[in-house]
Amino acid sequence: MVKTISIAVVALLLGAAAAGVPLWIQLGDAKDQIEGLQAEKTSLVQQVGNLEDDLSDANNTILGLNNDLGSLQAIYDSTSIELDETRAMLELKIGELADANSQIENLNGELATANQDIENLSRDLAAANAQIDTLGDDLASALLDIENLNAELSAIEEKYPLEDFADYTELSAWVKLHLQPYSSSYDSWFSHALKVQEQAANDGYYVSAFIFASDDSLLVVNCALAGNMLYVWDPEDPELYEWWEGGR
């Protein structure tokens, strides 16, 4: 830059000499020009310094940006890896979700079957409960029958073994008390004989009922021992007939 200024001064002096201008005037003008050029130089140097400061700031900014870019690149790389891992995990979860949905469908089918089974079992249970109620009623009735039969058995056991009548008088009195009405058929006649037999058993006496048959007729009678004599009689007639003597 100094070299450039010197050349300009020399050129100015040579021009002034050629023009016939006094040297001191020319020298003054040259000084003024030199001062102006130095001022410009100072300004240019200051601008260069400012530009160098701006360049340094720019370099620092670029360095910071490069550092930020490095950090961002590291973050991007890490994020990219995480994204790949997330995608792989997502694919895995999608597969697991598909399996879960398949299991849910299977479970829904099993649940529907189980609900149907429950409905069937509920109907079976209702039917079983109704049957139990019926059986309970039957059991109660059976227990009542057993109780009645036990009572009858006790009453019968009190009368058994059946005994023969002590004598004719006892037998005759009993026959008169249990005389049956006149019957109009052989069936009712024999039914009356059986009734006498049952009444005798209820009273603790041994009485038989049987039929004598001939070619043209039937005879229905009851018979019982009184002492050592076997007597027979018509269940509808109080008259006793000796049949056989000898006892048992």
Residue boundaries of the structural domains of the chain: 1-124, 162-245
Measured CA angle at 63 (ends 59, 69), to 5 deg: 140
Read off the pLDDT of each residue in 38-60 and give the average, rounded to a whole number: 83
Residues in contact with 240: Cβ distance below 8 Å, sequence separation at least 6, in sequence order? 168, 171, 172, 175, 231, 232, 233
Top mean-pLDDT range of 36-40, 90-94, 148-152: 36-40
pLDDT value at 118 more than 90: no
Read off the pLDDT of each residue in 134-159 and give the average, rounded to a whole number: 64
Q: Where are the beta strands (DSSP E) in the chain?
A: 208-213, 218-226, 229-233, 241-245
The more confident residue out of 187 and 13 is: 187
Q: What pLDDT shows up at residue 241?
A: 97
Q: Read off φ and ψ for residue 223, nearest 5 degrees.
A: -145, 150
pLDDT digits (tens, 9 = 90+) for 51-63: 788 878 878 887 8
Read off the pLDDT of each residue in 104-120 and give the average, rounded to a whole number: 71
Distance from C-alpha of 186 to C-alpha of 220, rounded to nearest angstrom: 8
C-alpha dist (Å) from residue 156 to 152, 153, 166, 205: 6, 5, 20, 11
Tokens matching residue 45: 């140097």
Read off the pLDDT of each residue in 203-210 and give the average, rounded to a whole number: 97
C-alpha dist (Å) from residue 11 to 20, 99, 196: 14, 97, 184
Partners of 231 in beta bridges: 224, 242
- Three-class DSSP category at 214: coil
Distance from C-alpha of 173 to C-alpha of 148, rounded to nearest angstrom: 31
Closest CA to 209 of 236, 229, 169, 183: 236
The more confident residue out of 99 and 18 is: 99
